[in-house]
């Protein structure tokens, strides 16, 4: 994996330092059984007490050095692994920001969260611990084996006959565990998603009395989670006692056979004690072998999933030859634009022209394609046919940043970040106090913001919890107006924003907007929101079925006229409107 190599290269010095410390530390470990051998053979059996202080000093030095080396090993290992995971997570998050809407249409949040969190955690764990641990265990096994053979190769050969059995059980355990682990991981995503959906939609849950259903749904997922954990515990219970049994047997075998060698005077007691110490050193790497292999396999699986995300194509900044844009006037032209999300056309042959400073209103039943039109204008999706021009420039040739900065968009779905009101208006832009106040005033939000406990500095909950629907909507309008006020946006898109506002507030905002020299696209269901537009188009199943000014459309006596009558009553016609 090319990308991984980059992160390893950046942190290679940490990994090499950690491996160096680990090898040095384990080399020191190899002296311990030898010292014990000397204590038994020379100090205890031969009663050579003078040697004891030196051996104990040596042992203390080894232990002390081991602590220092252990500290640095952990430090470098953790630093390398954490930095690698940090860089990978930042890159992945940056990449996700560049992906088009179409990518997010096809993936659920829980799945994406587990890529960003759990899969990167797997990589972090492997590089921050597993890899060095693997190398360490490998060296323990190799060095201890050489020492064992050099002490008594015949005994070692006998003891080693048990090792493949331990290895086999470790392998079986990890294979079965791996399967369950995969299920636990997928199940964890479902459990998270269930909880997340319930909490995010708690208002709907409560108002529809869905608590019992939600509890049952969560209970089901939690039960599955519990059952999988029990299944995993059973696997451990099935294999661990056998591994312990064989481990103990191999040590007992070494001691028993070694004892015979001792009785036959072919080995000293101290050597036997040392020998059994080295046997433990080769048994543990084998016992942990399956776990290590599994951990590496999980890391590879996580890396593959992450790589799949990296392979998703980002939005194209521009298509064809880039046009250098110097100030936009706000002329918008849709020329025979058609679009489909999947197989079916959602927009067919849409053509309209808005001169700078003029207003286009879009009406139509739900699902008729209104939002899709503005999605195409912001290049959140690309048209299948036709072209869209701003000031005569094909928008595909305008880089995304410039294009989107020129469109102040108030979406249908209100989204506020859990942050202060000020930050929700600024959204990363530098805005002075006057601009924020003016934007709030024109969105009829200044008064209620001032009445909040800490005014602009009040932190609003996730998605604006604690505010009314209309208040949230007004903040999103203020956010867009602020962009217009700093001169960055020349086109304002209001996607069904007035539905959450009362008539008085709607009229106030309409009036305030009159003084802005802006091209406006207003999507609305209420006639009151569109009647002053320079052109109104009425959509039906993705096609424009009527177009004209308010008066022209009324005289057509078609869809618009019907809507008008439904909203104002059949007795009113063309004269004074009861606005
Ligand atoms: N991301 C998407 N993937 C697939 N189909 C979509 C997607 N977004 C919208 N659609 C479909 O495209 C059609 C037009 O949707 P659109 O949101 O543009 O309608 P709308 O007129 O704005 O509706 P409303 O008034 O309810 O907001 C609908 O049939 C909708 O189901």
Among 250, 282, 311, residue at a domain's last position: 311
Residue span of the structural domain in which 53 resides? 2-311
What pLDDT shows up at residue 517? 84
Q: CB of 348 closer than 6 A to ligand 1?
A: no
Number of domains in the chain: 2
Tell me: do 276 and 371 sit in the same domain.
Answer: no
Q: Spell out the residues 6+ positions from residue 268 whose beta carbon is closer than 8 angstroms to its own.
A: 37, 40, 41, 45, 262
| Region of poorest pLDDT, from 8-17, 108-117, 224-233 | 108-117
CA of residue 366 to ligand 1 center, whole Å: 8
Residue 573 has pLDDT above 50, yes or no: no
239 and 362 in a common domain? no
CB 548 within 8 A of CB 555: no
Residues 23 and 91 in one domain: yes
41: closest CA among 182, 177, 169, 151? 151
Residue 250 has pLDDT above 50, yes or no: yes
Asked if the structure places residue 302 within a domain, the reply is: yes
Distance 375 CA to ligand 1 centre (A): 10
Mean pLDDT of the region 2-12 = 91
Judge if pTM exceeds 0.90: no
Q: What's the rounded mean pLDDT across residues 410-437?
A: 88
Q: Which residue has the higher pLDDT, 354 or 108?
A: 354
Q: Is the CB of 396 under 6 A from ligand 1?
A: no
492 close to 378: Cβ distance less than 8 angstroms: no
Same domain, 125 and 267: yes
Q: Is residue 288 part of a domain?
A: yes
What pLDDT shows up at residue 283? 86
Q: For residue 579, what pLDDT is reported?
A: 38
Mean pLDDT of the residues in the chain: 89
Say which residue, 577 or 560, is predicted with more confidence: 560
490 falls within a domain: no
3 in Cβ contact with 310 (< 8 Å): yes
Across the range 287-311, mean pLDDT stands at: 86
pLDDT score recorded for residue 244:
85
How much is the pLDDT for 400?
A: 92
CATH number where 219 lies: 1.20.1560.10
The whole-number average pLDDT for the span 489-500 is: 86
For the sheet containing 543-548, what is the strand order?
A: 407-410, 491-495, 519-523, 359-364, 535-540, 543-548
Q: pLDDT of 81-131, one tens digit each?
A: 999 999 999 999 999 999 998 899 888 777 888 889 889 999 999 999 998
Vertex 516, ends 511 and 521: CA angle to 5°? 85
Q: What share of the chain is helix, strand, coil (3-state, %, to 5)?
A: 65, 10, 25
Tens of pLDDT, residues 146-201: 999 999 898 899 888 888 898 898 888 888 888 888 888 888 888 888 888 888 78
Do residues 212 and 306 share a domain? Answer: yes
Residue whose entry in the numeric block shows the structure tokens 């220092």:
68
User: What is the CA(372)–ligand 1 centre distance, in A?
Assistant: 6
Which 8-state DSSP code applies to residue 315? P
- Cα–Cα distance for residue pair 152/439, rounded to 1 Å: 86
> Is residue 423, in this structure, part of any structural domain at all?
no
Q: Is position 439 within any domain?
A: no
Give the residue among 236, 125, 131 at the shortest CA–CA distance from 180. 236
User: In the 8-state DSSP scheme, what is residue 368?
Assistant: S
370 and 344 assigned to the same domain: yes
Q: What mean pLDDT do residues 135-145 have?
A: 92
Query: Is residue 463 very low, low, confident or very high in pLDDT (cuts 50, 70, 90)?
Result: low
What is the Cα–Cα distance from 335 to 396, expressed in whole angstroms? 14
What's the N-to-C CA distance of the chain in angstroms?
A: 64
pLDDT digits (tens, 9 = 90+) for 534-547: 999 999 999 999 99
Q: In what order do the strands lie in the sheet with 332-340?
A: 345-354, 332-340, 385-390, 393-394
Q: Same domain, yes or no, for 302 and 332?
A: no
Say which CATH number the domain at 543 has: 3.40.50.300
* 516 belongs to a structural domain: no
For ligand 1, the distance from its centroid to the CA atom of residue 550, given in whole angstroms, is 25
In testing the pocket of ligand 1, which one of 104, 367, 410, 523 has its CB within 8 Å of the most ligand atoms? 367
Each residue of 71-81: pLDDT tens digit?
Answer: 999 999 999 99
Best probe residue, ligand 1, of 102, 370, 500 (max atoms within 8 Å of C-beta): 370
ipTM at complex level? 0.96
Q: Kindly report the protein residue whose alpha carbon is nearest to atom 13 of ligand 1.
A: 367
Q: Burial, 440: exposed, middle or buried (Cβ in 10 Å; 0-12, 13-18, 19+)? A: buried
Q: Is the per-residue pLDDT at 574 higher than 60? A: no
Q: Atom 28 of ligand 1 has which residue's CA nearest to it? A: 367
Output the pLDDT for position 487: 78
Residues 339 and 295 reside in one and the same domain: no
Does residue 566 surpass a pLDDT of 90? Answer: no
Output the six-digit token pair for 387: 């072209």
Please report the pLDDT score of residue 516 as a whole number: 85
Q: Tell me the pLDDT band of 308, cut-offs 50, 70 and 90.
A: very high
pLDDT band at 462 (very low <50, low <70, confident <90, very high): low
Domain boundary residue among 311, 341, 369?
Answer: 311
């Amino acid at each position: 994996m090319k990308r991984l190599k980059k992160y390893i290269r950046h942190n290679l010095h940490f990994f090499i330092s950690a491996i160096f410390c680990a090898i040095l530390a384990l080399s020191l470990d190899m002296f311990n059984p030898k010292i014990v051998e000397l204590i038994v053979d020379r100090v205890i059996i031969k009663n050579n007490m003078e040697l004891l202080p030196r051996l104990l000093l040596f042992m203390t030095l080894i232990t002390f050095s081991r602590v220092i080396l252990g500290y640095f090993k952990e430090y470098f290992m953790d630093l390398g692994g954490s930095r690698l995971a940090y860089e990978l997570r930042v890159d992945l998050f940056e990449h996700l920001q560049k992906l088009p809407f179409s990518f997010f249409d096809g993936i659920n949040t829980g799945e994406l969260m587990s890529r960003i969190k759990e899969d990167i955690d797997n990589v972090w764990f492997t590089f921050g611990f597993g890899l060095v641990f693997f190398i360490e265990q490998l060296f323990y096994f190799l060095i201890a084996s050489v020492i064992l053979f050099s002490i008594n190769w015949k005994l070692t050969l006998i003891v080693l006959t048990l090792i493949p059995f331990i290895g086999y059980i470790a392998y079986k355990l990890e294979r079965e565990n791996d399967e369950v682990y995969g299920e636990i991981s997928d199940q964890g995503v479902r459990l998270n998603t269930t909880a997340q959906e319930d909490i995010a939609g708690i208002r709907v849950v409560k108002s529809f009395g869905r608590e019992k259903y939600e509890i049952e749904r969560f209970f089901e997922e939690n039960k599955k989670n519990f059952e999988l954990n029990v299944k995993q515990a059973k696997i451990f219970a099935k294999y661990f006692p056998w591994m312990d049994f064989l481990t103990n047997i191999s040590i007992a075998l070494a001691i028993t056979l070694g004892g015979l060698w001792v009785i036959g005077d072919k080995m000293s007691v101290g050597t036997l004690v040392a020998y059994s110490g080295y046997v433990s050193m080769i048994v543990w790497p084998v016992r942990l072998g399956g776990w290590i292999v599994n951990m590496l396999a999980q890391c590879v699986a996580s890396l593959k999933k992450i790589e799949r995300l990296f392979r998703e194509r980002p939005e194209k900044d521009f298509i064809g030859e880039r046009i250098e844009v110097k100030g936009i006037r706000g002329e918008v032209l849709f020329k025979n634009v058609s679009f489909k999300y999947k197989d079916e056309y959602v927009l067919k042959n849409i053509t309209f022209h808005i001169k700078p400073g003029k207003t286009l209103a879009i009406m139509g039943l739900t699902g008729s394609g209104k939002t899709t039109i503005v999605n195409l204008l912001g290049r959140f999706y690309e048209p299948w046919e036709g072209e869209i021009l701003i000031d005569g420039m094909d928008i595909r040739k305008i880089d995304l940043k410039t294009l989107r900065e020129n469109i102040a968009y108030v979406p249908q779905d209100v989204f506020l970040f859990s942050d202060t009101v000020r930050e929700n208006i600024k959204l990363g832009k530098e805005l002075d106090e006057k601009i924020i106040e003016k934007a709030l005033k024109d969105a009829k939000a200044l008064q209620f913001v001032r009445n909040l406990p800490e005014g602009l500095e009040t932190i609003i909950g996730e998605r604006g919890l604690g505010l009314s629907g209309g208040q949230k909507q007004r903040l999103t309008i203020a956010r867009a107006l602020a962009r217009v006020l700093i001169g960055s946006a020349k086109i304002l898109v209001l996607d069904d924003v007035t539905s959450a506002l009362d008539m008085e507030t709607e009229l106030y905002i309409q009036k305030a907007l009159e003084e802005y020299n802006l091209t406006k696209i207003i999507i609305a269901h209420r006639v009151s929101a569109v009647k002053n537009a320079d052109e109104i188009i009425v959509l039906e199943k993705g096609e424009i079925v009527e177009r004209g000014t308010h008066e022209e459309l009324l005289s057509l006596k078609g869809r618009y006229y019907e809507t008008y009558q439904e909203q104002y009553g059949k007795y009113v016609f063309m004269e004074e409107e009861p606005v």
